[in-house]
Amino acid sequence: MTLNSTDQLAQKVTIRHKHSLRWVVIAIAAVLVAQYFHGLATNPFYQWHRFAYWFARPVILRGLVVTLEATAASAVLSLIGGVIVALFRLSSNAFLSTIGWVYVWFFRSIPNIVILLFIFNSSAIYPHLNFGIPFWHSFFQINSSKVPYFVFGVVGLTISEVAYAAEVIRSGVLSVDQGQIEAANALGLSKLRQLQRVILPQALRSIVPSYVNLLIGLIKVSSLLYYVSLLDLFGSVQEMGSTYPGDIVPLLIVGSVWYVILTSVISVFQFYVERYFARGAVRTLPPTPIEKLKKQFSEAYYTISRRNRA
Amino acid sequence: MSTNQLAVEIRGADKSFGANHVLQKIDLDIYKGEVVAIIGPSGSGKSTLLRAINHLEGLDFGYIKVGGELIGVREHRGRLHELPESKIRHQRARIGFVSQNFNLFSNLTIIENVAEGPLAHKKLSRPEALAKAQSLLDQVGIGEKSSAYPRQLSGGQQQRAAIARALALEPELILFDEPTSALDPELVDEVLQVIRALASTGATLVIVTHEIAFARQVATKVVFLDKGQIVESGTSAQVIDNPTNSRTKEFIGKVLWQSFSI
């Protein structure tokens, strides 16, 4: 018998298996989603006209700005603080690494709201803040009661955020292959240049997703600022809700929608930053959503044309 | 050879990792232009000895001089004190190092990897460093890969890039730590060819290797290390073809048998 591919079966196209059960699940899920949106649109309880009224009111937007400012300030400060605490923890000196460890352990253990309230009341504990040489001479003094609430709020958010950021940064640095550091040493690169050219760019690949996660958490934790007399997004919603009790549900939806928008913007930003830092780590970069869509369409087109030929 | 200048002088090199005495009072001279192959069973201290030459491992006792200068330490009142990191960096720039796992910087392109040494040590301007990197990459036969990232290259190409990176600082001496042992068998030869070409230019090379046939062909001196001691050293004709020590005989026999059985 000779081997050849001239027989009928060898010419046939393979038709992919149809996942029948999957279609049942899709149908059920689609009905449930449709039902939910139908309820959302028709239930008078949600008062969509009041939602539209409140959505871009100046009082809400002012709150949104406070949320953005406090989050941004705290994000920048906690990144700087996080790098410092992480370097302390990574230090080969036992004293420095213990300080780093204690900081993380202590401030990770205390609820954010407790830290905020402590900082807010710190003017009672430390009525004057002195700047100078410790235990000796003070160059100038600040009266704590004159410090704006916003500063207290940002400091309060930052203290615990630094502890989380330090852990994210430390694990990123530890994820860099030891061989990379050895090669940098063998080439005689200084510690600073190693950090800047090799270690941080590689560490950032694993730091970015976790740090964005922290950032999203920070946006929501910033709603606690309301409890230290700052009118952030949540604070404004609460204030308006107590003034207009009938509108509390649409107001809460306004708040939720704004938080969703902030998180979505950050997620898009994250995607592109991650792609940037993936250079060199993967052979080909992951596709953008648009590239993915194009691929899906061209694959679907290919499948259909194959089936037609068959 | 003895009329030549000393490139490396190892005296009483001794080191332990805990209870493991990996180097036991090793003395070794390497002259300029020599190609030294260090062979021996795994765990014999070959890599530690090599890594001590550029102070990636510090010694407990003894010293190593490269080009007449103490490496990693200085003498003060009859004792050896470890140098600060900034001084060691400059010494390492004089000594090329190629490791088993290539360890190219994965976030930088091939050409940036090669240019990094001269740039970090401010030896060349950026355009000069890139031009030099390109010509070194051409020399090792991967000139067209200069803008690729390391992971896009085969193991053999990565190792050739790593050799180009080591050459970029124009070192007095290049150390190779098992340069082919992480490679697929069919890629070993392209890397050995590059090393062979370097040897023929009169460069001083120290190679820790398992490739006995290669050592025999290229090395001007073969050092057999076992249990932290130099058991036998001499030309390849002495150490590989006519070993006198029983431990050397046993090791060479084993390795040759393995290479024939493939």
Q: What is the ipTM of this complex?
A: 0.91
How many Å lie between the alpha carbon of A279 and the closest alpha carbon of chain B?
Answer: 6
Q: Is the pLDDT of residue A102 over 70?
A: yes
- d(CA B242, CA B224) in angstroms, rounded, equals 13
CB of B183 closer than 8 Å to CB of B212: no
- Residue B262: its pLDDT value, please? 45
Nearest C-alpha neighbor of A88 from the set A206, A200, A173, A188: A173
Contacts of B192 (CB under 8 A, 6+ apart): B180, B211, B214
Domain ranges for chain B: 6-94+175-261, 103-170
The token pair that represents A257 in the structure block? 């929608």
| Contacts with B149 from chain A: Cβ below 8 Å | 279-280
- Residue A235: its pLDDT value, please? 92
Question: Among residues of chain A, what percentage have pLDDT more than 90?
Answer: 53
Q: B72 touching A, CB under 8 A?
A: no
Angle at A115 between CA A109 and CA A119, to 5 degrees: 150
B106, B123, B157, best to mutate vs chain A, most A CBs in 10 Å:
B106
Tell me what the mean pLDDT of segment A186-196 comes to.
93
Phi and psi at B226, nearest 5°, equal -145, 135
CATH topology of domain B6-94+175-261: Rossmann fold (3.40.50)
Tell me what the mean pLDDT of segment A279-283 comes to.
71
CB of A179 closer than 8 Å to CB of B101: yes
Phi and psi at B74, nearest 5°, equal -135, 155
Q: What is the DSSP string of B74-94?
A: EEETTEEEEPPHHHHHHHHTT
Strand A137-143 and strand A128-133: the pairing is antiparallel
A187, A206, A284, A285, best to mutate vs chain B, most B CBs in 10 Å:
A187
How many Å lie between the alpha carbon of A74 and the closest alpha carbon of chain B?
Answer: 29
A272 pLDDT tier (thresholds 50, 70, 90): confident
CB of B52 closer than 8 Å to CB of B58: yes
Tell me what the mean pLDDT of segment A113-133 comes to.
82
Q: A281 touching B, CB under 8 A?
A: yes
Print pLDDT tens along chain B (262 aa). Answer: 445 789 999 999 999 999 899 999 999 999 999 999 999 998 899 999 999 999 999 999 999 999 999 999 999 998 999 999 899 999 999 999 999 999 999 999 999 999 999 999 999 999 999 999 999 999 999 999 999 999 999 999 999 999 999 999 999 999 999 999 889 888 999 999 999 999 999 899 999 998 888 898 889 999 999 999 999 999 988 998 888 888 998 888 888 766 655 4
- d(CA A124, CA A131) in angstroms, rounded, equals 18
CB contact under 8 A, A279 and B104: no
The count of CB pairs under 8 A between chains A and B is: 76
0.90 surpassed by pTM: no
pLDDT in tens, A209-232: 899 999 999 999 999 999 888 899
- Residue A310: its pLDDT value, please? 59
Q: Is the pLDDT of residue A122 over 90?
A: no
- Residue A137: its pLDDT value, please? 78
**How high does pLDDT run on average in chain A?**
88
| Contacts with B105 from chain A: Cβ below 8 Å | 180, 183-184, 197-198
